[in-house]
Chain A
């Protein structure tokens, strides 16, 4: 069910990423201030935006689960958060590399943008042990949804607080009029954002397909009363 349309989506994602990265290296002009190192911007910022929106999307799915009691929404919420955490790892690593090249330091603790993202990331890192800790599947799904809603509401609040805070070194790229980017850079950035968002959607769909297949296999095994050769995922919600 979830695998439907996965192949064209995957092809579209690969094409979009190839096109976006081509724009980065062959179309976007060099930044007058940072030079070639600014090319990391086209990867780092779309990853961060997609990860943060993914966390909020996970919260929206959690609301739908709490309202309807349908476990499918819990699975969507779980997979959205899971994928955003993986994207968050990429944000922290690429950001560290950029910081080292630009500022000479891998990390700056005085910078609100960096620390706030780390707080959000660590908060969502606790989602897994929180979920694992609850044995009963119904309670697990309900408590995880409450967590996802609360944390999802924190993400935009945190973002707004950071925008209002005084920045030390981290640039406020979209704070000025017209986004603060020349047209070619903005076009490249939007291309990268689309490609990364498409990647997120594709990976979420892939993960849901695998979980759905795994869940159906378990049900089939139970129906046949066959012995299980190996333990499946204990925490991941079953998707039907």
Chain B
């Protein structure tokens, strides 16, 4: 194993090392961006559901009000 894994490997020239360093940092940034995008989508879904729920609650409150008025009139 040590034959092809020298401990004192010579430093790669900048043009060759640069792509590896850039690759590592880009992978990190991509992971963060993907994660934050997933979280943003999740928060948008929560916001949409909350709006739907608010609409549902309003409709129900209006319906109850209308039925109470009908009951009053019939009485």
A interface list, Cβ under 8 A from B: 21, 31, 33-37, 39-40, 43-44, 47, 86, 89-90, 93-94, 97-98, 100-105, 108, 110, 168-169, 199, 203, 206-207, 210, 213-214, 217, 220-221, 224, 226, 229-230
Nearest neighbor of B31 in chain A, beta-carbon distance: A90
Q: A203-B35, A207-B39 are in contact. Are A103 and B5 (CB under 8 A)?
A: yes
Q: How large is the interface on B (under 10, 10 to 19, 20 to 34, 35 or more residues)?
A: 35 or more
What residues on B are CB-neighbors of A110 within 8 Å? 1
Interface residues of B, dominant DSSP: helix
Whether A100 contacts B20 in the complex (CB less than 8 A), given A35-B14, A90-B28, A94-B28, comes out as yes
Identify the closest chain B residue to A228 (Cβ).
B49
In angstroms, how far is the closest chain A Cβ from the Cβ of B5? 5
- CB interface residues, B 16-32, toward A, < 8 Å: 16-18, 20-21, 23-25, 27-28, 31-32
Q: Which of A37, A207, A210, A224 has the most CB of B within 10 A?
A: A37
Residues on B with beta carbons closer than 8 Å to the beta carbon of A31: 11
User: Contact between A229 and B11 (Cβ–Cβ < 8 Å)?
Assistant: no
Q: Show 18 A/B contacts (Cβ-Cβ < 8 Å), sorted by A.
A: A34-B9, A35-B17, A36-B18, A36-B21, A40-B20, A40-B21, A43-B25, A90-B31, A94-B27, A97-B20, A97-B23, A97-B27, A203-B35, A210-B42, A220-B53, A224-B53, A224-B60, A229-B52
- Separation in Å of the A226 CB from the closest CB of chain B? 5
Instruction: Give Cα A213 to B50, complex, Å.
Output: 10
B66 within 8 A of A: no
- Cβ of B39 to closest chain A Cβ, rounded Å: 6
- Please give, as numbers and ranges, the residues of chain B lying within 8 Å of A230 by CB-CB distance: 45, 49
CA distance A183 to B63 in the complex (A): 72
Residues of A within 8 A of B57 (CB): 224, 226
Chain B residues near A (Cβ < 8 Å)? 1-2, 4-5, 7-9, 11-14, 16-18, 20-21, 23-25, 27-28, 31-32, 35-36, 39, 42-43, 45-46, 49-50, 52-53, 56-57, 60
**A210-B43, A226-B56 known; A43+B11 contact, CB < 8 A:** no
Complex Cα distance, B18 from A229, in Å, reads 49
A213→B43 contact, CB < 8 A = yes
In the complex, the answer to whether B8 meets A33 with C-beta atoms within 8 Å is: yes
Interface pairs A-B: 9 shortest CB-CB:
A35-B11, A101-B20, A36-B17, A37-B17, A94-B24, A97-B24, A40-B24, A39-B21, A226-B56
Partner of B17, one of A101, A105, A220: A101
Contact B12 A36 (CB under 8 A): yes
Contact B46 A93 (CB under 8 A): no
Residue contact B20 to A98, C-beta cutoff 8 Å: yes
Contacts of B42 in A (CB 8 A): 210, 214
Q: How far is the CA of A21 from the CA of B24 in the complex (A)?
A: 13
